[in-house]
């Protein structure tokens, strides 16, 4: 019975999405409770999954009963289980936040919005658990279509940028498929474990190298690694405020997770000289992304856009950790991935609350918040500490392990990039806080076009509170979580 | 708005062809295990017949209106597919392990064959409805809740 | 040099794939019309699917459907069925992507009254 948990985890949002059109036909108001119920059920199941995996080892789920490598299998090991908990918890909190924002349209039209979110969750579950290269492609494409639909729902400007995202992401997926076809032509199998056995002798062959390059380019477009990040700031800025936290915290991180899986579990990086070159490309691009993203965030005027570029910078940081080839760096990058998901969700929730309750959209409006928004400023401070990397928040421990890993492999340029990115992040957060607190940036009275509301409602306070508690507890429990991640990566023998 | 086609020739030939196309789609669906075909192709062909009905007869007449109402069954095919998989879960096997379908009197290969057939029916249904729904949402034909964004 | 040309000419399917892929990418990137970009995207995806099918082929082999139910099944007589299954799935993904893209383009046309990317970007300013 326990072995069916991965399938159940995938089926919960899928069944909710399928039955929603029929339910909403009769009772239009049931759309949101059903989505929330599905997300909470996913949380509970994800926690149960982690407990089962920690107790009895990884679960290999064979669909249709056919044994691998003939059949398609899913693998739920420590890494995937921790990722699933992060995905489902974040989805629940973002859904609670999203439901409190007034969305235009009747209840029937909202049902479409919830169907897209549920399908996105099931697609992300598929990518996290997949142990077959083609499965990753299919679920990534489903996630792309759902994401572009969610961005396009905002209408107006968002349609143009949703179209741009769709074209770029589809080209990325096509590149990934091309890479998979090269690997298949070279080895004859698509199963990750089987490939891991067949690839070590073939890593010098041109087909395999070209295949891996194409797969990397495809996934880099999906995870918005600089310089392929062009779609991200526009898409996340113009998406609906209710939907941005969900998108920004989950979509790119899962694509990066897929790349880490392929790099370490399929190609077996970190063991020989050929893969060391590939890893070097990875962390160099990561360094470029970390510094470039933070620098571009510094010059932004729109708050949501600034946070989006912050996300680009963090993807770069995670890539630095993942490109180092040792266990500390890898565990650190995975820990920072989970941290970054929580931080991005918090940032976009705060940005959405700022827009809807205080009318704050650009850096110039920030003075409105000065004496009126204690919870929001408190949340901003905690997230800021975590983004910059100050203990005891989770961001510090993630960066700590990444830097430790970089020192272990002697890559001092990577350490330098992390430090420069941290300083730039500190600079743009200082910019935020200075504009909120310093009195010479204009008074709060005449700056606000909207009559500033009272303190934000209880639901939003609960959301922000849960996310900030999450950031702090990730930092305080970092030891235990990193230990689970180190155990999960110990089979790689790095 | 799309009205019925003017030419009698087109109307008559479509009236004869559409049932043939649908019959061919059902043939491809059921023979997908023994020849090229299966759920996807069958769904596309069935959807094409419905789109032809909408284009030739217009959405107001009876033939066109039936096709327009088909969109109401939006998630039904996916429900059939996931439902068959879920039945396999209930029967004790993994998800989509057709050998675990709880049907009396069938040997294991027969159960697997039946399971495949049921999922292909679900797939075909879903793709037909999707094809019609794409065409309808791109034209200005009102259906259900108006244009879906 | 001669063996390079030989290697290329002996594999016409690779040449066709590369030509289609690059052509589609060029169309998707350079043309201004949104629908032409979609066509370019479609050509890129079709070229990859075509590539998949062609390297599944074997000399003298037939389609991967059993000719007879009994007797020995020789793998050499049938083309590789796995890429065919992947092709089917990829085609469905392609159709879904095209459907969503065309819907988004229709929405853009309703809002901005033009399908030209340069014009739309100018209107966005």
Question: pLDDT value at position A277?
Answer: 85
Mean pLDDT of all residues in A222-245: 90
Q: Give the dihedral sign, CA B118/B121/B127/B133.
A: negative
| Residue range B56-77, pLDDT digits in tens | 887 777 767 777 777 777 788 8
**Number of A–B residue contacts, CB under 8 Å:** 51
**What mean pLDDT is reported for chain B?**
83
Q: Give the position of tokens 């609350």.
A: A353
Tell me if chain C has a CB within 8 Å of the CB of B97: no
CB contact under 8 A, B138 and C102: yes
* Nearest-angstrom CA–CA distance, A61 and A57: 13
Which positions ≥6 away from A140 have C-beta within 8 Å? A123, A127, A173, A176, A222, A255, A258
**Integer Cα distance of C21 and C13 in angstroms:** 12
Question: How far is Cα A5 from Cα C108, in angstroms, rounded to an integer?
Answer: 42
Spatial distance between the Cα atoms of A325 and A402, rounded to a whole number of angstroms: 11
Two structure tokens written together for A482: 């990193």
Question: Which range, of A387-391, C91-95, C97-101, averages the lowest pLDDT?
Answer: A387-391
| Contact status of A64 with chain B (Cβ, < 8 Å) | yes
DSSP conformation letters of A172-215: HHHHHHHHHHHHHHHHS--BHHHHHHHSGGGTTSHHHHHHHHHH
State whether the Cα torsion A423-A427-A432-A438 is positive or negative.
positive
Please indicate whether, in this complex, the C-beta atoms of B40 and C91 are within 8 angstroms of each other. yes
User: Each residue of A426-475: pLDDT tens digit?
Assistant: 999 998 888 888 766 655 454 445 555 567 788 888 888 999 999 999 99
Task: Establish whether this prediction's ipTM goes over 0.90.
Answer: yes
Q: Is A190 on the interface with C (CB under 8 A)?
A: yes
Nearest-CA distance B8 → chain C (Å): 32
Closest chain A C-alpha to C41 CA, distance in angstroms:
7
Evaluate if residue A67 carries a pLDDT over 90.
no
Residue B147 pLDDT class (50, 70, 90 cuts): very low
Question: Angle at CA B123, nearest 5°, toward B120 and B128?
Answer: 125
Question: What pLDDT is stored for residue C57 in this prediction?
Answer: 87
- Chains within contact range of chain A (3+ C-beta pairs < 8 Å): B, C
| A407 and A415 Cβ atoms separated by less than 8 Å | yes
In chain A, residues with a C-beta closer than 8 Å to the C-beta of C104 are 148, 152, 159, 162-163, 166
Other beta carbons less than 10 A from residue A197's beta carbon: 13
- Answer for the pair A208, A202: CB distance below 8 angstroms, yes or no: yes
- Paired tokens of A416: 């330098």
Give yes or no for A457 touching B (CB within 8 A): no
Question: Peptide bond before A194: cis, by omega within 30 degrees of 0?
Answer: no
Is A424 within 8 Å of A294 (Cβ atoms)?
Answer: yes
pTM: 0.93
For residue A76, give the 3-state DSSP assignment: strand
Asked if A112 has any chain B CB less than 8 Å from its own CB, the reply is yes
- Under an 8 A CB cutoff, do B134 and C107 touch? no
Chain C positions touching A174 (Cβ under 8 A) are 41, 44-45, 48
Q: Which CATH number belongs to the domain containing residue C16 in this structure?
A: 1.10.287.3510
Cα A47–chain centre separation: 19
- Domain locations along chain A: 271-494
* Predicted pLDDT at B148: 42
Q: What is the pLDDT of residue B140?
A: 65
* Range name among A22-36, A392-406, B4-18, C75-89 with the lowest pLDDT average: A22-36
Taking contacts as CB-CB distances below 8 angstroms, the residues of chain B near C63 are 36
Closest residue of chain B to C105, computed from CA coordinates: B138
Q: How many helices (H) and strands (E) does chain C have?
A: 5, 0
Chain A residues close to C51, C-beta within 8 Å: 178, 181
Distance from CA of C66 to the nearest CA of A (A): 18
In terms of pLDDT, which residue wins out, B61 or A18? A18
Closest listed residue to residue B46, CA positions, set B69, B21, B70? B21
Kindly state the helix (H) or strand (E) to which residue A141 belongs, with its residue range. Answer: helix A133-152
A90-99, A237-246, B57-66, B123-132: range with lowest mean pLDDT: B57-66
Cβ atoms of residues B121 and B80 within 8 Å: yes
CA A315, CA A254: separation in Å to the nearest integer? 11
Q: How far apart are the first and last CA of chain B?
A: 19
Which of C62, C99, C101 is best to mutate for the B interface (most B CBs within 10 A)? Answer: C99
Domain that holds residue C19: 2-64+72-124
Question: Across chain B, which distance is largest between two alpha carbons, in Å?
Answer: 58
Per-residue confidence (pLDDT) for residue B142, from 0 to 100: 56
Structure tokens, B7:
């030419």
For A281, the token pair is 């490309």
Element (H, E) at A61: strand A59-62
What was the pLDDT predicted at A441? Answer: 62
| Parallel/antiparallel/unpaired status of strands A73-76 and A59-62 | antiparallel
Question: How far is C3 from chain B, CA to nearest CA, in Å?
Answer: 39
H/E stretch holding A62: strand A59-62
Q: How far apart are CA A359 and CA A345, in angstroms?
A: 20
Question: Could B96 and A22 be called an inter-chain contact, meaning their C-beta atoms sit closer than 8 Å?
Answer: no
Q: How many separate domains does chain C show?
A: 1
Separation of CA A245 from chain center? 10
What pLDDT score does A454 carry? 63
Separation between Cα atoms, residue A145 and residue A119, nearest integer Å: 10
Residue B57 distance to chain A (closest CA, Å): 28
Interface size, chain B vs chain C, as Cβ–Cβ contacts under 8 Å: 22
Nearest to A188 by CA among B33, C45, C75, B36: C75
Q: What are residue C31's phi and psi, to 5 degrees? A: -70, 150
Q: What is the pLDDT of residue A453?
A: 56
CA-CA distance, B147 to B138, in Å (whole number)?
Answer: 8
Looking at chain B, list the stretches that DSSP marks H as alpha helix, in order from N- to C-terminal side.
Answer: 8-30, 39-57, 62-69, 76-90, 108-138
Q: Give me A317's structure tokens.
A: 């940081």
> Across the interface, which of B38, B40, B138 has its CB nearest the CB of C106?
B138
Most confident of A36-50, A350-364, B105-119: A36-50
Neighbours, chain C (3 or more CB pairs < 8 A): A, B
CB contact under 8 A, C65 and B36: yes
> Is A384 in a helix, a strand, or coil?
helix
Three-state DSSP class for residue A309 = helix
Task: Kindly state the average pLDDT of the residues A174-181.
Answer: 95
Question: Where would I find the H helices in B70-107?
Answer: 76-90
Mean pLDDT of A98-112: 74
List, as ranges, residues 106-135 from B with C-beta within 8 Å of C: 127, 130, 134
**Directed axis angle between helix A394-408 and helix A478-489, to 10°?**
40
Q: Which residue has tokens 């915290």?
A: A249
Q: Which residues numbered 295-354 in A keep a CB inside 8 Å of some CB on C?
A: none
Whether the CB of A181 is below 8 Å from some CB of chain C: the reply is yes
pLDDT at A26 over 90: no
Q: How far B55 CA lies from chain A's nearest CA (Å)?
A: 26
SS (H, E, C) chain A: CHHHHHHHHHHHHHHHHHHHHHHHHHCHHHHHHHHHHHHHHHHHHHHHHHHHHHHHCCEEEEHHHCCCCCCCEEEECHHHHHHHHHHHHHHHHHHHHHHHCCCCCCHHHHHHHHHHHHHHHHHHHHHHHECEHHHHHHHHHHHHHHHHHHHHCCCCHHHHHHHHHHHHHHHHHHHHHHHHHHHHHHHCCCEHHHHHHHCHHHCCCHHHHHHHHHHHHHHHHHHCCCCCCCHHHHHHHHCCCCCHHHHHHHHHHHHHHHHHHHHHHHCCCCCCHHHHHHHHHHHHHHHHHHHHHHHHHHCCCEHHHHHHHHHHHHHHHHHHHHCCCCHHHHHHHHHHHHHHHHHHHHHHHHHHHHHHHHCCCEHHHHHHHCCCCHHHHHHHHHHHHHHHCCCCCHHHHHHHHHHHHHHHCCCHHHHHHHHHHHHHHHHHHHHHHHHHHCHHHCCCCCCCCCCCCCCCCHHHHHHHHHHHHHHHHHHHCHHHHHHHHHHHHHHHCC
- Whose tokens are 């075509």? That residue is C50
If you average pLDDT over every residue of chain A, what do you get? Answer: 88
State the best of A2, A25, A64 to mutate against chain B, taking most chain B CBs within 10 Å.
Answer: A64
According to the model, what pLDDT value does residue A171 have?
Answer: 95
Contact list, A17 vs chain B (CB under 8 Å): 75
Report which listed range, A153-162, A479-488, B12-21, B139-148, is most confident.
B12-21
For chain C, say whether A155 makes contact (Cβ under 8 Å): yes
Q: Which of A456, A454, A447 is nearest to A368 (CA)?
A: A447
> Which of A105-109, A277-281, B37-41 is predicted with the least confidence, judged by mean pLDDT?
A105-109
- Judged by average pLDDT, the poorest of A243-257, A340-354, B90-104, B111-125 is B90-104
Chain A residue at shortest CA distance from C80: A188
User: pLDDT tens across C53-76, in order?
Assistant: 998 888 888 888 877 777 788 888
* Terminal-to-terminal C-alpha distance of chain C: 53
């Amino acid at each position: 019975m326990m072995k069916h948990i991965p399938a159940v985890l995938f089926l919960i949002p899928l069944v909710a999405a399928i039955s929603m059109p029929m339910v909403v036909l009769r009772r239009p108001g049931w759309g949101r409770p059903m989505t929330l119920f599905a997300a909470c059920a996913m949380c509970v199941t994800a926690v149960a999954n982690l407990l089962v995996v920690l107790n009895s080892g990884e679960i290999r789920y064979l669909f249709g009963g056919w044994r691998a490598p003939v059949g398609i299998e899913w693998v739920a090991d420590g890494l995937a289980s921790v990722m699933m908990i992060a995905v489902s918890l974040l989805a629940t909190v973002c859904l609670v936040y999203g439901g409190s924002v007034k969305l235009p349209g009747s209840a029937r039209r909202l049902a479409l919005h919830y169907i897209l979110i549920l399908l996105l969750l099931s697609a992300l579950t598929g990518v996290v658990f997949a142990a077959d290269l083609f499965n990753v492609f299919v679920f990534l494409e489903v996630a792309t279509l759902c994401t572009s639909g969610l961005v396009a729902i905002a209408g107006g400007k968002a349609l143009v940028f949703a179209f741009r995202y769709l074209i770029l992401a589809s080209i990325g997926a096509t590149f990934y498929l091309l890479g998979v076809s090269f690997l298949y032509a070279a080895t004859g199998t698509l199963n990750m474990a089987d490939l891991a056995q067949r690839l070590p002798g073939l890593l010098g062959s041109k087909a395999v190298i070209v295949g891996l390059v194409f797969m990397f380019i495809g996934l880099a477009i999906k995870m918005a690694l600089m310089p392929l990040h062009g779609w991200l700031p526009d898409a996340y800025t113009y998406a609906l405020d209710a939907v941005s936290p969900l998108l920004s915290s989950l979509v790119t991180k899962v694509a990066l997770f897929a790349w880490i899986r392929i790099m370490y579990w399929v190609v077996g990086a970190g063991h020989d000289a050929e893969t060391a070159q590939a890893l070097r490309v990875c962390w160099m691009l990561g360094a470029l992304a970390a510094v470039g993203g933070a620098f571009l965030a510094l010059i932004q005027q729109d708050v949501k856009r600034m946070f989006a570029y912050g996300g680009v910078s963090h993807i770069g940081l995670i890539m630095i950790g993942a490109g180092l080839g040792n266990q500390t760096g890898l565990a650190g990058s995975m820990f920072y991935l989970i941290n970054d998901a929580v931080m991005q969700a918090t940032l976009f929730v705060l940005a959405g609350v700022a827009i809807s309750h205080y009318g704050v959209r650009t850096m110039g409006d920030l003075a409105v918040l000065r004496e009126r928004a204690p919870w929001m400023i408190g949340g901003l401070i905690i997230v800021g500490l975590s983004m910059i990397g100050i203990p005891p928040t989770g961001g510090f421990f993630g960066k700590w392990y990444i830097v430790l890993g970089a020192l272990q492999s002697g890559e001092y340029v990577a350490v330098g990039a992390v430090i420069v990115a941290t300083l730039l992040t500190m600079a743009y957060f200082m910019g935020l806080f200075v504009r909120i607190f310093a009195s010479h940036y204009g008074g709060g009275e005449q700056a606000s076009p909207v009559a500033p509301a009272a303190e934000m409602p209880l639901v939003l306070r609960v959301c922000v509170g849960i996310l900030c508690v999450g950031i702090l507890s990730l930092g305080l429990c970092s030891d235990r979580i990193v230990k689970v991640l180190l155990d999960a990566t110990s089979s790689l023998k790095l | 708005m799309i009205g019925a086609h003017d030419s009698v020739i087109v109307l008559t030939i479509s009236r004869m062809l559409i049932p043939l196309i649908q019959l061919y789609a059902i043939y491809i669906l059921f023979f997908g295990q023994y020849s090229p075909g299966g759920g996807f192709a069958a769904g596309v062909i069935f959807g094409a017949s419905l789109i032809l009905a909408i284009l030739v007869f217009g959405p107001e007449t009876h033939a066109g209106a039936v096709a327009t109402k088909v969109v109401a069954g939006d998630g039904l095919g996916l429900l059939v597919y996931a439902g068959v998989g879920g039945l396999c879960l209930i029967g004790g096997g993994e998800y989509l392990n057709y050998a675990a379908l709880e049907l009396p009197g069938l040997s294991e290969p027969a159960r697997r064959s039946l399971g495949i057939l049921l999922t292909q029916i679900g797939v075909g249904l879903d793709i037909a409805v999707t094809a019609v729904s794409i065409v309808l949402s791109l034209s200005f034909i009102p259906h259900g809740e108006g244009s879906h964004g | 040099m001669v063996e390079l040309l030989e290697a290329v000419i002996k594999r016409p399917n690779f040449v066709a794939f590369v030509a289609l892929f690059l052509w589609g990418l060029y169309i998707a990137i350079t043309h201004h019309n949104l629908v032409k970009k979609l066509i370019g995207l479609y050509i890129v995806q079709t070229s990859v699917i075509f590539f998949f099918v062609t390297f599944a082929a074997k000399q003298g082999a037939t389609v991967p459907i059993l000719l007879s139910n009994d007797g020995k099944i020789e793998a050499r007589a049938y083309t590789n069925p796995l890429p065919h299954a992947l092709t089917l799935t990829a085609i469905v993904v392609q159709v879904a992507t095209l459907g969503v893209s065309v819907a988004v383009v229709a929405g853009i046309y309703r809002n901005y009254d033009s399908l030209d990317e340069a014009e739309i970007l100018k209107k966005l300013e």
